[in-house]
Structure 1
Amino acid sequence: MPTHTRIRMFNTKETYPNQSIDNDLCQAVVAGNTVYVRGQIGTDFEGNLVGLGDPRAQAEQAMKNVKQLLEEAGSDLSHIVKTTTYITDPRYRELVYQEVGRWLKGVFPISTGLVVSGLAQPEWLMEIDVIAVIPESV
């Protein structure tokens, strides 16, 4: 019996064609009743960047991805317990956090935010990963 389920498996050769890496990853993992969502950025699941130069638009796309992945895992945004948000410029904080906050209004997760010197691709301005739970069936 598997101890976890991997959602949307992929290889980095396909997602990062401009880099020489060959790693097998997935977008989310369900372990028990916990969902771990890989860092999401302003790229949709077809690989299209949304919001070039626009941190708010990238945050919106990242949250669309988070919502979809949680639903595929049997959870939803209301069951997020922790977020970690990365921004590449402290001036993006307000725009990104306003957008994320719009999606998580009334959820009250714990949150960590970091300003980093860069992300995996130079056009990415923000990234968010989340941990959520799958509620027990009633």
Structure 2
Amino acid sequence: MTTHIRIRKFNTKETYPNQKLDNDLCQAVRAGNTIYVRGQVGTDFDGKLVGLGDPAAQAEQAMKNVQQLLEEAGSDMSHIVKTTTYITDPRYREAVYQVTGKWLKGVFPISTGLVVQGLGQPEWLMEIDVIAVVPDE
């Protein structure tokens, strides 16, 4: 019996060749009817950064990633229950939240926002992770 499904497995030595890492991770995990999505940034699934220096463009790409991962896990954006958003500068808040707010219009998740000193790569200006559910059939 499978208790969880790991979506888009990867190893950090391929994902972050500029760092000496060797960790097995995945982009999302579906455990029962709950989906946990790893922090998404302005990088597409091919590793290309979208929006260098542009927090809104990075937020747009991050939300596209979230949407795709939720669909692969059997859900969609309307079933997000919690978000955590990280920004590296408080001046990015408005730009990032305008984008995430557009994607989450009418969803009403609970939300936590944090200003942090930095993220995993210096060019990343924002990151968002989400928890969602798979609706009952």
Q: Identify whether the pair has TM-score above 0.5, normalized to the shorter chain.
A: yes
* Deviation string, structure 1 residues 30-68 (Cα, Å, up to 9, x no partner): 000000000000000000000000000000000000000
Q: What corresponds to 1:94 in structure 2?
A: 94
Q: What corresponds to 1:122 in structure 2?
A: 122
Q: What corresponds to 2:7 in structure 1?
A: 7
Aligned Cα root-mean-square deviation (Å): 0.3
Q: Please, which runs of 5 or more residues in structure 1 have no aligned partner?
A: none
**In structure 1, what residue type is equivalent to 2:59?**
A
TM superposition shift of 1:15: 0.6
Q: What corresponds to 2:38 in structure 1?
A: 38
TM-score for the superposition, normalised by structure 2: 1.00
Count of aligned pairs between the two proteins: 137
TM superposition shift of 1:2: 1.5
Q: What corresponds to 1:24 in structure 2?
A: 24
How far apart, in 1, do the equivalents of 2:92 and 2:26 lie? 27
**In structure 1, what residue type is equivalent to 2:85?**
T
SS at match of 1:84: strand
Q: Please, which runs of 5 or more residues in structure 2 have no aligned partner?
A: none
SS at match of 1:58: helix
